[in-house]
Structure 1
Amino acid sequence: MSLAAPGDRLSLLCLGAHSDDIEIGLGGTILRWIGEGKQLDVYWCVASAGNERAAEARASAEAFLEKAASYSIEIGAFQDSYFPVQSREIKAWLLALRDKVDPDVIFTHSREDAHQDHRELSKLTSNVFRNHLIMEYEIPKWDGDLGTRNTYVPLSEEALAAKVALLLKHFGTQRSKDWFDKDTFQGLARLRGMECRAPARFAEAFTVRKFLLA
């Protein structure tokens, strides 16, 4: 199945709890679709990013979306690690987003993600956006919460290499973390590529709970 052909416009709402989440979860997909000539209109929203991480988030988003047809970047101010107790305020933020955008596809965190912020944002996304295609992406971490996915986007070696290079370039605050490196991102993409028999061996994987075949 294809969501759009080269030359077609496709509107995306990308939601991330933290400054590097969107890039890790679907950065390769964004770069692939742009490289294929799909005209992406992207609303890129990061719920929590303070000070230095906010600057990283904006610079990274601009780099990933440099060749998109159009884009808008929104950086929220919710408190990192405390999303469950900010649920009411985050829902209001998402409702305001719903009044501004009507995307073809929404990307958000996995419902089963072990990080409380990721999980809360995913739950509220599906609650607020009931009439949209939602694709839940994954974030590797020490919790070992990677699960079974049912939707894949194959990546070329070039798209994956560009994704990894941009991640390592823009997120200096994260480089000290033992999981934030080329091997992690390439290794996960190789496993997901194996699962879907991706032509170039790499892929990003998602969970789709509901979709309508017309």
Structure 2
Amino acid sequence: MLSFLPTSTSAPLKVLCLGAHADDLEIGAGGTLLRLLEDRAVDLCWVVASAAGSRAEEARASVAGLARGAASCEVHVWDLTENLFPSQLGDLKSRLWELQQTFSPDLVFSHRLEDRHQDHRTCAEVIWQTFRDQAVLEFEIAKFEGDLGQPNLFVPLDVAQMDRKLQHLEAHFPSQAGRPWFDPEAFRALARLRGVECNSASGYAEAFTARKLTLDFS
């Protein structure tokens, strides 16, 4: 399959990651980010919109471990009120607009527009309002709402990458242990399904919704 990412390695790929909560990015795109950091030089900007106390500590420790191979890593852990993002849309948009003035990404990872969790959905809406000239990949998270869709972009993961993702989640988010949706079997099952859909050699993949991509043949 063809890649849509720039092939030039003269400068690091600039990647922005926005997650509503401390573990969202790692659940939805952790394997992809591990693979990307193995394959490319990356300037990473990592934003968690809502985390406080021990959850903020988990978020910072997680990205420190995940982004160890990044060319650079800028981390923002914000203090929006969990479960009330729709009423804070203006605040979130202002913060991202300010961030955009100093970091212009080539690639953005965030939530799906169809995500039924209000915090996730608000992040997705604001990303599209703020980053209009970037490639945006919307990740998926299995949860109570039952809102998984039909993604159209897949990133195959080898077995080692899949295992590293699960180990990373278990090691860095002990506060979520025991929650029915925070389960390694569930994470592996979804990756296995997406692996079937893209004919991954290992059987595993992460999947994304890519609404708009521009191909430049020059």
TM-score by length of 2: 0.95
**For 1:100, what is the secondary structure of its paired residue?**
coil
Q: Aligned Cα RMSD in Å?
A: 1.2
Shift of 1:179: 1.9
Map Cα deviations across residues 170-210 of structure 1 (whole Å, 9 max, x no partner): 10111120121210111010001100111111000000111
Question: Contact between 1:41 and 1:68, CA under 8 Å: does it hold in 2?
Answer: yes
After superposing on structure 2, the runs of 4+ consecutive aligned residues of structure 1 that deviate more than 2 Å are 4-9
Question: Contact between 1:6 and 1:39, CA under 8 Å: does it hold in 2?
Answer: no
Gaps of 5+ in 2: none
Residue 24 of structure 2 corresponds to residue 21 of structure 1: yes
Partner of 1:187: 189
Q: Distance in 1 between matches of 2:89 and 2:6?
A: 34
Q: Distance in 2 between matches of 1:65 and 1:204?
A: 18
Partner of 1:100: 102
Q: Distance in 2 between matches of 1:6 and 1:176?
A: 44
Percent identity over paired residues: 43
Q: How many residues align?
A: 213
User: Which structure 2 residues correspond to residues 12-161 of structure 1 after superposition, within 5 A?
Assistant: 12-36=15-39, 38-161=40-163
Q: Distance in 2 between matches of 1:75 and 1:5?
A: 31
TM-score by length of 1: 0.96
Shift of 1:6: 9.1
Shift of 1:142: 1.5
Q: Distance in 2 between matches of 1:34 and 1:88?
A: 32
Read off the aligned partner of 2:20 and give its amino acid letter.
A
Read off the aligned partner of 2:141 and give its amino acid letter.
I
Map Cα deviations across residues 3-46 of structure 1 (whole Å, 9 max, x no partner): 1559562110000000000101111011112223x101110000
Q: Distance in 2 between matches of 1:87 and 1:32?
A: 32
Shift of 1:102: 0.7
Gaps of 5+ in 1: none
Q: Distance in 1 between matches of 2:20 and 2:68?
A: 22
